[in-house]
Amino acid sequence: MIRQQSWSPVTGMVLACLVVASIIISLKSSSVVVDLSALWIGASDNWQHLLLTTILVPRTLMALVCGAALGIAGVLIQQATRNNFASPATLGVNAGALLATVVGMVVVPELMAKAPILVAFAGAMATTLLVLKLSRMISDSPVNLVLVGMAMTLALGSVSAGLMMFWENSLEGLYTWGAGNLAQHNYEGVNRAWPVLAVLMIISWGLGRSLDMVELGETTASGLGINVKVIVNGSLVVALILSSMVVSEVGMISFIGLVAPPLTRFLGFRSTRWLIPAAAVTGALLLLWADIMARWLSGENYSLPAGAMTTLIGAPFMITMLALNRQNNGRLPSSSETGIHSLIKPRPLLVILSLLFITAVVSYFALGGEGFRALLDLRAPRLLVAACAGIILGVAGLLLQTLLKNPLASPDVSGLTTTGVLFAVMGVILIPGLSDTGLIALTLLGSGCALALLLLIGRLTNFQPQFFALTGLCVSALAGTLINIVLVLGSNQSTEVLVWLSGSTYHSSYPSALLLGAGALVLVMISGLLWRKLDIIPLGSHWSGALGVNSVLVMVVLLGGIAVACSLTVSVVGGISFVGLMAPHICRLLGLTSHRHLIPASALMGMALLIGGDYVSRTLMFPFELPAGLVVSCIGGIYFILLLISGRYLRR
């Protein structure tokens, strides 16, 4: 049964009045006072007339067009997938389109100049097909769909960032554009975008009734004569074209497609035929106000991208949705269901010795192979820093997974390292001459804030793994957006800071290696002393208490140690992703179960992964060097998805 509308004509009138008022405010939002009457009575050489017609009006129209496109795309994706968490941002659509655009600007600049939407669409289509295919291989859970999409976003974002650093001169200005820059200097972009929006809006409206039927279920819709496959695929194609058009014109605009549809439903619009135009208006208003706020916060020497402001709105909105939907039936598997099963049953000592041997071999090649003596002074500090950072991340990931009973927990997936990076970047750019001690203090403060937020949200959602993982990803997205804003504020230092925050051992030294070594030693010693308690905690609070384990005290001590150790890592090597996720899983795959063996094994595996990632980053595009964090992020994003997929087949 199709739900009836509960909105009134007053709602439509209010939205119309808001659009008119917002347009007026947007046209007057400039660094100088503008008289709007100059728009129609000013002479062609009048500076106010020129400012309005060449900058403010095109920018306002572009915000309205792109916001409307993303609002419609969000409705189509959510209706087609029957998933209120789905949007162009959370499914990796924007990240795929951005990567294709970056590659297109270097490889086929002529095509990008003539038809940028085609290049962006190709990337968006490939990414979406891959995300949908992979998520269906796992389960029909809407949360798994978003997890795969956001993992794909992290992986593709790392590739895009690496390419932007590699082709820095060819892609000058693309970093700010990629964050969602609505600045316009003429009507060319608007004239390209609005016909696409108009045609696809009509097509979307025509799909509305069929999408309402699809919402009833595939069997029911088929019984009513609806070709479900054609309607769903057609809706996704339309949404992809709309999203690609936005990315090709203004860059990455996140979360508008996520926020606009539920806000529209809240206003009383239910039928898809009404949702589409209403979401278009809502999305246009959201993006226009994000741009207005970005202009208000901008200064004379810098301009904040509107895409950054939309993430500041969208990420908290998604976290709120997670808290309100704690009973969602999309459940992510536990560690026993995610593919983390012993592949072999060896002796633990043999596994640890084997990992030690592998780490030694990787270290040998990282030092330069047979010619390592000549490069020892250059490579040794990097090797030591990578080794100590790998130990911290590997052990920290193991402890988080155990304490939170969440196989998807790690310092980066949980947002601890990203938030630490945010505070560190703020310190480096906004406080010239910041000391190493101050940098460590700031990263510790950032990681502590993220940890407190995660524990608060985790308590509201009963620490369910899927919601904890999504909350961490949202915190990471929010922190990443704030990093973009800070980089815009300190654009003169952006390239250098970008390399560091991507995770690099380039500036390693013996003192920094000593600092990380001390942190790694303390974390390993504390966790090693508590290994018996760590074996008991997963049994639950009842059994832990019965066996005399104060699980709360253990958690407080270890989480504090994790926050401090991860802060040290961030202050030295920046953001390194997925090492803390992969290292403990690989050790469990090798048959280790007790923390007595898992702790040293995770430390060794973390060492091997990060040393290997640093070696690959140096040699992959030699003589150019990529940050090790980008290489590890690409590998980790793929691993994250494969981890979810493997669980389905092991449960058969």
Instruction: Classify residue 289: in a domain, yes or no.
Output: yes
Q: CB-based contacts of 511: which residues, under 8 Å, 6+ apart?
A: none
Q: Are residues 364 and 297 in the same domain?
A: no
Does residue 42 lie in a domain region? Answer: no
User: In this predicted model, what pLDDT tens digit does every residue of 614-627 receive, in sequence order?
Assistant: 888 777 766 667 77
Same domain, 504 and 624: yes
What pLDDT does 522 receive?
Answer: 92
Q: Which of 243, 246, 287, 234 is nearest to 90 (CA)?
A: 243
Residues 264 and 365 in one domain: no
Same domain, 394 and 277: no
Q: Which domain holds residue 442?
A: 358-369+381-650
Is the pLDDT assigned to residue 332 strictly greater than 60?
no
Q: What is the 3-state secondary structure (H, E, C) of 559-607?
A: HHHHHHHHHHHHHHHCCCCCHHHHHHHHHHHCCCCCHHHHHHHHHHHHH
- Specify whether 311 is located in the same domain as 363: no
Checking if the pLDDT of 334 tops 70, the result is no
Residue 232 confidence class, pLDDT cut points 50, 70, 90: confident
Residues 477 and 551 reside in one and the same domain? yes
Quick one: 299 and 404 in the same domain?
Answer: no
- Cβ–Cβ < 8 Å for 425, 494: no
Task: Mark whether 365 and 302 lie in a shared domain.
Answer: no
Give residue 139's pLDDT: 62
Domain-embedded: residue 539:
yes
User: 104-162: per-residue pLDDT in tens?
Assistant: 887 888 887 777 778 888 888 888 888 877 777 766 665 667 667 777 777 777 677 66
14 within domain boundaries: no
> What's the pLDDT tens digit per position in 43-62?
556 778 788 888 889 999 99
Question: Does residue 234 form part of some domain?
Answer: yes
Tens digit of each residue's pLDDT (9 = 90 or more) over 72-96: 999 998 888 877 777 787 777 878 8
Residue 337 lies in a domain: no
Enter the pTM of the model.
Answer: 0.71
Q: State the pLDDT confidence band at 499, using cuts at 50, 70 and 90.
A: low
Task: Based on the fold, state whether residues 233 and 305 are members of the same structural domain.
Answer: yes
Mean pLDDT of 460-474: 65
In tens, the pLDDT along 18-43 reads: 999 999 998 888 877 777 777 777 55
**Structural tokens at position 409:** 């927990």
Whichever domain contains 215, its CATH number is 1.10.3470.10
Domain total of the chain: 2
Distance CA 232, CA 344 (A): 43
310 and 392, same domain (yes or no): no
DSSP label at 53? I
- Does residue 432 lie in a domain region? yes
Residue 448, amino acid: G
Same domain, 548 and 425: yes
Burial 388-405 (b: 16+ CB within 10 A, else e): bbbbbbbbbbbbbbbbbb
* pLDDT value for 179: 65
Are 313 and 363 within one domain?
no
Q: Is residue 23 part of a domain?
A: no
Q: What is the pLDDT of residue 631?
A: 76
